[in-house]
Amino acid sequence: MPSELHDTLVQLFRDQPVFIKQVINNDTRIAHEPFTHARLVSENATVLKSTERRTDATIELFNEETVARLIVVLEVQLRIDKDKLRTWPTYVCRMHEDMDCPIVLVVICTDEKTAQWASRPIEIGPVNSQITPVALGPASVPQIVDPDSADATPEMTVLSVIMHSHTDLGTRIIDAMDTVLATIDTTRAADYTDYAMGLLRGKPRAYLEALMSTATAPYHSEFAGRFYKKGKAEGQAQGRAEGQARGRSEGRAEGQAKMLLILLDHRGIALSKTDRHKIQTCTDTDLLQTWAVRATSAETVADIFD
């Protein structure tokens, strides 16, 4: 059964089919003309009625001026699975029959071991009969720390966070994604943040949560509405027992204080016991919001409180 990671990576390409052009553009294994457009086509690669085959996504790249076309059969592969060596060739052959144009099988992998396995030629006959997937692992995805770089499209920054947030550059990569997503429409930005948040664990997730709590970007409030939905429900339940309005306010302040402490920890700003107590006991959500905004660029504790 497909995992959340698998489905999220597939959805990233489904949301913006043209993203595949950026992913394969600099890959020397794929010789092609420049393409100007991209669109999803049917993922159905069925050969026999009794056996249904569906690719993760199938994208047609084309250039209206030169009439050049390329079909990208996209697969997301999270682990080595020898059964794929039998099914992948059927995808390519069936699409070649239906579309009558060049076909390339692109496999997105989240670890290099799987990428190396998936990139091997698949032998289907004794006389140079083989299909060679183009496998892309973490090494093929840039570690984007500069939001102004040429690679820093919204989709690539999200993919960079998914692939590299656990590295030493993790917080800078998350910062770059946050900056880039603030430049696109709020719904799309909130969706992409959902994708990243759903897959991050541990410190990278905590850091992204802290960024979201600052509401410094236009889409943060929309995302926060989704992310804190569960917390709000819990706060409302507590409020019915102790006073609904007070429960919500205290719950929100406690959450903001927690996120602020996480953000300061990741930015390496040392706190005294007095400073930490001041944050933990603050019930003024507007003041906590002000401190959180300052914390994104502060160098010392004084920069936050003064």
User: Per residue in 221-237, pLDDT tens?
Assistant: 777 766 655 445 555 55
Count of CB atoms within 10 A of residue 152's CB? 19
The position carrying tokens 């992409």 is 192
Confidence tier at 13 by pLDDT (50, 70, 90):
very high
Question: In the prediction, which pLDDT does 32 show?
Answer: 63
Q: Is the pLDDT of residue 215 over 60?
A: no
Q: Is the pLDDT of residue 49 over 50?
A: no
Question: In the prediction, which pLDDT does 47 show?
Answer: 44
The rounded distance, in Å, linking the Cα atoms of 192 and 176 is 13
Residue range 205-229: mean pLDDT, rounded? 74
Is residue 21 within 8 A of residue 35, CB to CB? The reply is yes
Q: Is the pLDDT of residue 270 over 80?
A: yes
Q: How would DSSP label each residue in 102-114? A: -EEEEEE-SSHHH
Question: In the prediction, which pLDDT does 10 show?
Answer: 92
User: Per residue in 59-80, pLDDT tens?
Assistant: 999 988 888 899 999 999 999 9
Question: In the prediction, which pLDDT does 118 show?
Answer: 97
* Single pTM value for the model: 0.73
Residue range 1-22: mean pLDDT, rounded? 89
- Which has more confidence, 109 or 271? 109
Confidence tier at 50 by pLDDT (50, 70, 90):
very low
Nearest Cα neighbor of 135 from 81, 63, 193 is: 81
- Which has more confidence, 37 or 256? 37
Q: How would DSSP label each residue in 199-213? A: H--HHHHHHHHHHHH
Residue range 88-115: mean pLDDT, rounded? 93
Q: Tokens for 214, please give them.
A: 């600052």
Residue range 1-27: mean pLDDT, rounded? 87
| Beta bridge pairs of residue 107 | 75, 135
- Which has more confidence, 184 or 30? 184
Confidence tier at 195 by pLDDT (50, 70, 90):
very high
Comparing 36-45, 222-231, 288-297, which segment has the lowest mean pLDDT? 222-231
User: Per residue in 126-149, pLDDT tens?
Assistant: 877 899 999 999 999 999 999 999
Q: Is the pLDDT of residue 46 over 50?
A: no
Q: Do the strands 57-63 and 68-76 form a parallel or antiparallel pair, or are they unpaired? A: antiparallel
**Mean of all residue pLDDT scores within the chain:** 84
Residue range 169-191: mean pLDDT, rounded? 92
Question: In the prediction, which pLDDT does 220 show?
Answer: 80
